[in-house]
Amino acid sequence: MRPVVSVEEMKAFDAKALKVTSHETLVRRAGSAVGYAAIVFLGGVSGKRITVIAGPGSNGADGRIAASLLRRRGAKVRLLDPTATSAEILPADLVIDAAYGTGLSRSFHAAFVPDSVPVIAVDLPSGLDGDKGSTLGTPLEASMTVTMAAMKSGLLLGDGPSLCGEITVADIGIPTEPHTMELMEQRDLHLLAPRARTDNKWSAAVTVVAGSPGMEGAAALCSMGALRAGSGMVRLVTRATDTGTPWPEDIVRREVNGAEFVDVVLSESSRAKAVVIGPGLGLDENTRQAIRELMRRRSCPMVVDADAITAIGSQENLKELVGASSHPLLITPHDGELKRLLGRDLDADRLGELRELVASTGVCVLSKGATTVIVAPDDLDPMVRFVTAGTPALATAGTGDVLSGVIAAFCARGLSLPLAAALGAFVHGSAGALGSGTMVATDLPNLVGEVVKEEQA
């Protein structure tokens, strides 16, 4: 996992590094990293017109070092301050934005630069909040961001991904340990240990509680996601009435409609290592009450998705349900579900909002989005994790049901619930990237199996 830091954490790491390394040395390393990134980006800079916008602080100092290096390499460099106009900046083959770094606390309105002119941002696009990813003014949209020592959370949240372009982390000799946030990467697949020679079908059993008339697909997708992620036994308890639609033959299924629903679920999950509840389950009052009762009486980690999130009703209810059992509980809301649970509109500080929810209720949260964020209580897992492996191909009905099944399977295979959520989201996103053409949710479980197989091979 790649370290991700907050602005305050980065200040502390900088201060610690300055005890053993001079400021001039760190600036020289940072500016050189930017200069060499520009050379690689342009495929050589001799004769190229490069405008460097350099502010008064350390960010600007990095830009001035980069400007000096590029001049020595034959570039035609203009060094300007942040008040420069478009007429002063252009024409240019490249603009380097070193106006302001993470310390900016006021609005910055960058001069217009057309999309045809690439921009390299130093540390982060000037005017982007380094923590929240919200904008302070009108930053330039970068083609590449060269960020120092570690990624900043603002590059991954809010407007950050649309403004920063490709992110390069420059190692300038500042250690970033201990950090409290991480970005999931391909190499993290090793966390999923191969199944042991002595394992049997019950070793990673999952119970899925999902589906109702007309929503059979949600139950099937969730169950197949769990199977393809390595659960040897998936027991599906559903309210669906058999309409003649064929169910996947690999699923052990029980249809229950009536007062015995809770007892049947508890019986079917007695040997499970993880439970998923919610996809397509329905929202009538009896179902809502059953969902809450099953959450209270859970006997293993539980993944709460879709209709089950809505059935919780409020933060107060969530706190009570989490506290009713010693086994962890994970909710997987998209923004609309999170808004309903909180009972208010979401603010710009997404990470802060999730941390507040976790601290007040004890729940684990996987917040879906272009960047997925996983937060858990400190006593369970103090590390915040980000996943950017998603693709627009996943913006289709049913893919979230697959994700819930994958998370449950990874938990059943031995990962803690927060880590299963983070790795599950990464595998889910990576599987989506393998799809071709117009992908539908039924394509996804097999692609999940391909991603997992790559690590198990």
- Pairwise CA distance, residues 118 & 140, whole Å: 10
Predicted TM-score (pTM) of the model is 0.94
- Pairwise CA distance, residues 148 & 172, whole Å: 7
Tokens of 49: 């017109």
Give the per-residue pLDDT at 435.
84
Give the per-residue pLDDT at 391.
84
DSSP 375-428: E--TTT---EEEE----GGG-STTHHHHHHHHHHHHHHTT--HHHHHHHHHHHH
Give the per-residue pLDDT at 421.
98
Q: What is the CATH number of domain 186-456?
A: 3.40.1190.20
- Pairwise CA distance, residues 251 & 270, whole Å: 17
- Pairwise CA distance, residues 187 & 41, whole Å: 26
Of 163, 174, 144, 110, the residue nearest 36 (C-alpha) = 144
- Pairwise CA distance, residues 339 & 275, whole Å: 24
Instruction: Give just the sign of the alpha carbon dihedral 11, 15, 21, 27.
Output: positive
Of 132, 56, 49, 129, the residue nearest 93 (C-alpha) = 49
DSSP 130: T
Q: Print pLDDT tens along the chain (457 aa).
A: 999 999 999 999 999 999 999 999 999 999 999 999 999 999 999 999 999 999 999 999 999 999 999 999 999 999 999 999 999 999 999 999 999 988 888 899 999 999 999 999 999 999 999 999 999 999 999 999 999 999 999 999 999 999 999 999 999 999 999 999 999 999 999 999 888 889 999 999 999 999 998 899 999 999 999 999 999 999 999 987 766 667 888 889 999 988 899 999 999 999 999 999 999 999 999 999 999 999 999 999 999 999 999 999 999 999 999 999 999 999 999 999 999 999 899 988 999 999 999 999 999 999 999 999 999 999 999 999 999 998 888 888 899 999 999 999 999 999 999 999 999 999 999 999 988 778 899 999 999 999 998 555 4
Are 152 and 7 in contact by the 8 Å Cβ rule? The answer is: yes
Give the per-residue pLDDT at 454.
59
**In which residue ranges of the chain is CATH 3.40.50.10260 found?**
2-182
Are 268 and 287 in contact by the 8 Å Cβ rule? The answer is: no
DSSP 154: G
Are 228 and 452 in contact by the 8 Å Cβ rule? The answer is: yes
Cα end-to-end distance, the chain, whole Å: 21
Give the per-residue pLDDT at 243.
63
Are 164 and 128 in contact by the 8 Å Cβ rule? The answer is: yes
**In which residue ranges of the chain is CATH 3.40.1190.20 found?**
186-456
Radius of gyration of the chain (CA): 25
Which strand ranges, in their side-by-side order, compose the sheet holding 76-80? 76-80, 49-54, 94-98, 119-122, 144-148, 166-170
Burial degree of 91 (CB within 10 A; 0-12, 13-18, 19+): exposed
Give the per-residue pLDDT at 411.
98
Give the per-residue pLDDT at 456.
56
Of 180, 167, 178, the residue nearest 133 (C-alpha) = 167
Are 241 and 255 in contact by the 8 Å Cβ rule? The answer is: yes
Report CA 65 to chain centroid distance, whole Å: 34
Tokens of 389: 């492996």
> Which helix (H) or strand (E) element contains residue 454?
helix 444-456
The topology under which CATH files domain 2-182 is Rossmann fold (3.40.50)
Enumerate residues 6+ apart whose C-beta is below 8 A from 233: 201, 202, 204, 205, 206, 252
158 dihedral zone (left: phi>0; alpha: psi -120 to 50; beta): left
Q: Please count the other Cβ atoms lying within 10 Å of the Cβ belonging to residue 241.
A: 12
DSSP 190: G
Tokens of 9: 């954490």
